[in-house]
Amino acid sequence: MLKFFIALLIIFSTSAQVSAEKILFIPHDNRPVSSQQPSDVISQLGYEIISPPTEFLTNPDQLWSWFNENAPFVNAAVVSSDALLYGGLIPSRSHEISAEILNSRVQNFKILRDNNPNLNLYAFGSLMRTPSFGTPGDREEPAYYGQFGAKIFQLTALLDKNETSKLNSNEKMQLAALENEIPDEILDNWFARRVKNLSMTIKLLDLTNDDVINFFVIGRDDNAPLCQTHRENRQLLAYMENIPKIKAQSHAGIDEFAILLLTRAVNDLNCHIPFVNVQFNRGKGAKTIPHYSDEEIGQSIRDEIIIAGAMFVPKPERADFVLFVNSDPKGNTFELHNSFPPQVLTKKQQKYFARNAENFADMVENAVNNNLPVGIADIICANGSDNFLMAQLSDKNLLFKLQSYGGWNTATNTSGFALSTGILAKKMSRASIDRLLATRYLDDWAYQANVRTAIADELSKRPDGLAIYLNLGDHESEILKRENVLMHEFAVEHFPQWNGFVVSNPWHRMFECRIDLD
């Protein structure tokens, strides 16, 4: 009998270990930063990531079937509610799905919970974004946003301000003019979808409050201090007053949520709460309100620490990880690599950037020399590394002495990825840490801040340059060859030990790339 119970104990113990090593992950799309790169980070810890076939991501019914089939065999699931309701982040901005269908998909969460009572379930979704302008041919918004996007943004900024303070006479006239200039059918379509999406978000919050979802985070993507996204968020925060931040949050960002919640899943499975300290560059620092955000970056990072299942500590000596944030002393965000054609720095600006980078690199070097586990969130530029800082880190031989680095896209995208990877690095081998750093340097520094910038500058001299930049089309093989040549030249110069890789553009545009390391 004793042998029988011992055998049972071994079976259950082995079963628990196998299950604990698997995390189900449904991203909101198949961009590398949304799916491949977060999965790669968690894989370095020895977990097996279970994700659906790519073609399922745009089909909620197939996704739900796959989710229900695989949920019993994992201990944690990190899922995009946008994928499960609308077919992805971008479809959530232009869908024509009825409220009845959306309601039934929301109720699927409760059915899943009833069938999997012990599953750690983490979900992330989004409020619809409000870009400050539209680009004709942009696939990420309804077609009419290319023509009326800037006016819609201005109109909602005035509506938002009118509800929080008073409009002056000129602003009232401007609001009336915008209401006349934008066709009613466009405004009706745009606002009706937002009302529907906000209603579904509130229903998901109710499920979170009822413990159907363990943790739910709602993103505010490409947002501003005054706009429709900010306006809706005020309504949402009022609704969330009695829901603690350890259960649900509204957060300025979106693409970083996958890695933050995967980090939380790992921490929860290990019953571990890491301690994190944050250090900012001189000047405005934590009070910086970056582009594409409506709040101070210091508050955003404090919230990201909670989302990741960690805890802020005031002293770096007590921290398991210290995040250094490279911000502009005056609180600016520079669009150097995020415009077409790319912006060019004056000599005065170059000196300003160089001084700032030197000061920040000295801070990082001092921390590394004191054996602190250090990572960098490089937020001074929107979408791309600060070349002046990277030169300093390279000269000081610090590139591969860090625990993590991030310099891609919006400030919160950057901080969320650097924070999560830095928290998890403590459980990784040095080889795994260096591999993840190499991916970030190739993507954020080599591609975003240099290669993409150089090719964008070349394309800007062609009459069809912007169209190619947004949609590579028949020019993809030509552009891809150019990218790989420039990327390998960059790698040979700056980190030749990581010269074995291939670059591609899975979304057939210049904005993002995929790095496949040997």
Is the pLDDT score of 398 beyond 70? Answer: yes
Mean pLDDT over each residue of the chain, to the nearest integer: 94
Residue 235 lies in a domain: yes
Residue 21 amino acid letter: E
Least confident among 369-373, 381-385, 400-404: 381-385
Which pLDDT value is given to residue 167? 95
Is the pLDDT score of 16 beyond 70? Answer: no
Which pLDDT value is given to residue 12? 40
Contact 75, 22 (CB under 8 A): yes
Least confident among 11-25, 93-107, 163-177: 11-25
- The strand pair at 311-312 and 374-378 is best described as unpaired
**pLDDT band, very low/low/confident/very high, at 137 (cuts 50, 70, 90):** confident
Backbone torsion region of residue 253, taken as left when φ is above 0, otherwise alpha when ψ lies between -120 and 50, otherwise beta: left
Domains held by the chain: number? 1
Which pLDDT value is given to residue 13? 39
Is the pLDDT score of 268 beyond 80? Answer: yes
Least confident among 16-25, 147-156, 455-464: 16-25
Q: What does the alpha-carbon distance between residue 31 and residue 255 come to, in Å, rounded to a whole number? A: 10
Q: State the number of CA atoms in the 13 A half-sphere of 196 facing the CB.
A: 21
Give the range of the structural domain holding residue 92, as residue numbers without chain letter: 23-271
As a three-state string, the secondary structure of 264-303 is HHHHHHCCCCCEEEEEECCCCHHHCCCCCCCCCHHHHHHH
Residue 396 lies in a domain: no
Is the pLDDT score of 1 beyond 90? Answer: no
- Find, among 435, 453, 458, the residue nearest to 515 by Cα: 435
Cα angle 288, 437, 415; round to 5: 20
Q: What does the alpha-carbon distance between residue 413 and residue 416 come to, in Å, rounded to a whole number? A: 5
Residue 133 lies in a domain: yes
**pLDDT band, very low/low/confident/very high, at 427 (cuts 50, 70, 90):** very high
- Find, among 416, 261, 257, the residue nearest to 323 by Cα: 416
pLDDT over 70 percentage in the chain = 96
Is the pLDDT score of 261 beyond 70? Answer: yes
Which pLDDT value is given to residue 5? 43
pLDDT greater at residue 460 or residue 221: 460
Which pLDDT value is given to residue 7? 43
In this prediction, residues 106-123 reach a mean pLDDT of: 98
Residue 96 lies in a domain: yes
Which pLDDT value is given to residue 4? 43
Residue 351 lies in a domain: no
Contact 334, 290 (CB under 8 A): no
Decide: helix, strand or coil at residue 76.
strand
Q: Tens digits of per-residue pLDDT, 288-302?
A: 999 988 899 999 999
Residue 229 amino acid letter: T
CA end-to-end span of the chain: 52
- Find, among 361, 359, 304, the residue nearest to 329 by Cα: 359
Q: Tens digits of per-residue pLDDT, 305-363?
A: 999 999 999 999 999 999 999 999 999 999 988 889 888 899 999 999 999 999 999 99
In this prediction, residues 125-142 reach a mean pLDDT of: 89
Is the pLDDT score of 445 beyond 50? Answer: yes
Residue 464 lies in a domain: no
pLDDT over 90 percentage in the chain = 90
Dihedral of the alpha carbons of 345, 349, 355, 359, in degrees to the nearest 10? -80
Residue 366 lies in a domain: no
Contact 444, 512 (CB under 8 A): no
Residue 337 lies in a domain: no
Q: What is the CATH number of the domain that holds 108?
A: 3.40.50
